[in-house]
Amino acid sequence: MRKILRLAAITSLVLGTVVLGAGAAGAAQANGHQSSTCTGTFQSPGLLAGKYKGDVVITGVCVVNGGAAVIKGNLILAPGSALNATFALNDVAKSGTSSLTVKGDVKVGPGALLAMGCEPNFSPCTDDPNASTGGTLTGQNKVFGSIRAVQALGVLLHASTIKGSFSLFGGGGAESCNPPFPGVFADLQSPPFSDAEDNSIGGNMTMTGLHSCWLGALRNSVRGNIFVAGNSMADPDAMEVLANHVRGSIACFSNSPAVQYGDSGSSPNKVRGRAFGECGFNVLQPNPAPSPGVPAGPLEPISVKV
């Protein structure tokens, strides 16, 4: 199921291939305002590009595919909005690269979707010409503050640098993988899910209280602690919290399904501190997990001490 979700929400996240409508962000910044707004629709998304002195608020659907977007304040996704920052090329100018840099925090509101970052194989960039064969491009996205999502529809974070912490509190759309899909996932024709892979996180990573189709956290470098608790997913392959390098401690409790290897083909978390609950050093799970037609693999620890 994980591969199907990734293809639906990344390869089919074709917001950059439609006609762009420059959102109010550009106009507001040109007038010297200290806060700006970007808005648009799925069919005609707003363009987030250039430098913004203050906060930027996303109120509709916006994309970052017109070169570098640098926000000196906070980036705020209003309820029900969506931002696609999964590009590596400047699709507007047909030359140069696209990236998102936020000097402050990123705040993702209820029902909103943030897709930031892309990488070969695991989540190819939307505009990677070689995406069908795994891709070769990697996004260049950085947040100097923290990312905090409260009751968000989904957060898809790949190959990005977060100087602060990364937190998901509640939301997730619905504990279902079946249509009708909520919010912008209906346009993407994909079940809702959240995912964090191959990111550098300077603080803590927290995922609590999500009800969705799938949730995963793989190969992240986390200087603080990881806490994953009280999440409930419809996909039995969900809750792959694996191969993370954790300088602090890791704790996983009351997740459904419990933290597992699923079909990720991954490896244990490497933890300098302590490990608790479903992610404890003494917890063994089959790798891969059994599924129809696939027998259970050998038992491996979810986390190991380093």
Tens digits of residue pLDDT in 10-35: 444 544 333 333 344 554 444 445 79
d(CA 5, CA 191): 7
What pLDDT score was predicted for residue 10? 47
Record the pTM. Answer: 0.92
Tens digits of residue pLDDT in 38-69: 999 999 999 999 999 999 999 999 999 999 99
d(CA 51, CA 148): 22
What pLDDT score was predicted for residue 88? 97
Mean of pLDDT values over 180-201: 96
What pLDDT score was predicted for residue 25? 53
Tens digits of residue pLDDT in 271-296: 999 999 999 999 999 999 998 888 99
d(CA 264, CA 138): 21
To which residue do tokens 């990111």 refer? 199
What pLDDT score was predicted for residue 246? 98
d(CA 163, CA 142): 8
Report whether pLDDT(78) > 60: yes
SS3 33: coil
To which residue do tokens 């994980």 refer? 2
Tens digits of residue pLDDT in 84-101: 999 999 999 999 999 999
Report whether pLDDT(9) > 60: no
To which residue do tokens 């260049």 refer? 140
Residue 121 is encoded by which pair of tokens? 């194989």
Residue 205 φ/ψ, nearest 5 degrees: -120, 125
DSSP code per residue over 217-230: EES-EESS-EEEES
What pLDDT score was predicted for residue 178? 97
Smallest CA-to-CA distance from 232 within 171, 149, 299 is with 171
What pLDDT score was predicted for residue 29? 43
45 and 15 Cβ atoms separated by less than 8 Å = yes
Side-chain-facing half-sphere of 37: CA atoms under 13 Å: 7
Tens digits of residue pLDDT in 132-155: 999 999 999 999 999 999 999 999
User: Who's near 94: CB < 8 A, 6+ residues apart?
Assistant: none
To which residue do tokens 């990488």 refer? 119
